[in-house]
Each structure stands twice: as structure tokens, then as C-alpha cells.
């Protein structure tokens, strides 16, 4: 099954050879943290999955792969944390001030036992009270002060 992604006016479209053409398509990773760069789901305008691409980098042509990456980057609201400026705990909530790839952010995370998700030895994802994601892609790459602040709260 050959799939081609292309832009038509403001829409992202997908053409599945011999089957259909869908507009207002949204590419999303099916398992973004546990299996990065594998299992790219294509959702239609009603957020229903209509195709799953196991190895998108290999199965899509170069233009389609580039378009999919651009679209996912445009829609990704995950902030990648570079440094922790401050953190304090009060009544089971942790109040963070961090520097991210999207600038300075302040957020509150409740119940870190369920909202701090570790992936492997050195990757951490924090979910705040609004459902926003704060990614620490490599805890070892954080400066010493940031690591100490994080160790003190976890």
C-alpha cells in the first residue's frame, strides 16, 4: 500500500494508492515515547485513524516524510526542558520554573508518583495540571543545580 502526503491549500492530504484520498489529515505517532519514529498513524478530519505506517521513514517517499515531520512539529506542544530555575513542593503539588525550547515556563504538577513518567534511565516526562507535557530528554545533560533540584522533588 503506497501512501503519498501532500498539501492542498491549507489542508494536509493523503492519497492511498488504489483506495482513497483524505483531506485535513493529521499524522501522529502511535507510540511516541516507547517506539519513536515507528508506527505513524494518519487521522482523518474526524480524528479517526485510517492508516498506520509501521516504518514511515522507509515507507513514505522523501517529500511525504518531510511533510509529515513538518506537520507533527507544528502541532507538537511538548516543551523540552533545558534547565530548572526553581522548584518547590506544597501540599502534594510541585511548582516548577523552567527554561525550555519554548522559553521560560512555570507549571504545576500534582502527584508526581503518577505524573512523572520515566522512559529508560535518563528520560523524564512531567505532566502538569493542564495536561501539558514537559520533556527532560536526557537527565544527565542537565546542569548540576537542575539535577539537584529535580532529585530533591522526586
- CA 14 – CA 52 distance, rounded (Å): 12
- Which of 28, 60, 34 minimizes the C-alpha distance to 47? 28
Question: What's the confidence (pLDDT) of residue 51?
Answer: 93
Question: What's the confidence (pLDDT) of residue 70?
Answer: 92
Same domain as 121, residue 136: yes
Question: What's the confidence (pLDDT) of residue 36?
Answer: 77
Write down which residue in 59, 75, 91 finishes a domain: 75
Q: Do the Cβ atoms of 54 and 37 come closer than 8 Å?
A: no
Neighbours of 21 (CB within 10 A): 12
User: What are the residue ranges in the chain where pLDDT is below 70?
Assistant: 33
Same domain as 28, residue 47: yes
Question: What's the confidence (pLDDT) of residue 52?
Answer: 95
- Which of 91, 102, 126 minimizes the C-alpha distance to 112? 126
**What's the predicted TM-score (pTM) here?**
0.66
Question: What's the confidence (pLDDT) of residue 110?
Answer: 94
Q: Do the Cβ atoms of 64 and 16 come closer than 8 Å?
A: no
* Domain around 11: 3-75
- CA 61 – CA 64 distance, rounded (Å): 5
Write down which residue in 31, 59, 75 finishes a domain: 75
Write down which residue in 23, 47, 75 finishes a domain: 75
Residues 6+ apart with CB under 8 A from 81: 98, 99, 100, 134, 135, 136, 142
Q: In the chain, how many domains are there?
A: 2
Question: What's the confidence (pLDDT) of residue 35?
Answer: 81
- CA 15 – CA 61 distance, rounded (Å): 12
Question: What's the confidence (pLDDT) of residue 74?
Answer: 86
Amino acid at each position: 500500500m503506497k501512501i503519498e502526503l501532500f498539501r492542498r491549500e491549507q489542508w494536509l492530504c493523503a492519497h492511498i494508492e488504489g483506495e482513497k484520498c483524505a483531506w485535513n489529515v493529521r499524522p501522529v505517532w502511535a507510540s511516541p515515547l516507547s517506539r519513536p519514529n515507528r508506527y505513524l498513524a494518519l487521522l482523518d478530519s474526524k480524528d479517526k485513524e485510517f492508516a498506520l505506517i509501521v516504518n514511515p521513514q522507509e515507507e513514505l517517499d522523501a517529500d511525504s516524510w518531510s511533510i509529515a515531520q513538518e506537520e507533527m512539529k507544528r502541532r507538537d506542544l511538548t516543551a523540552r526542558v533545558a534547565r530548572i530555575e526553581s522548584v518547590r513542593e506544597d501540599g502534594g503539588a510541585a511548582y516548577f520554573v523552567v527554561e525550555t525550547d519554548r522559553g521560560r515556563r512555570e507549571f504545576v504538577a500534582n502527584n508526581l508518583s503518577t505524573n512523572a513518567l520515566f522512559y529508560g534511565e535518563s528520560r523524564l516526562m512531567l505532566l502538569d495540571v493542564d495536561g501539558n507535557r514537559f520533556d527532560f530528554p536526557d537527565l544527565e545533560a542537565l546542569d548540576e543545580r537542575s539535577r539537584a533540584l529535580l532529585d530533591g522533588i522526586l
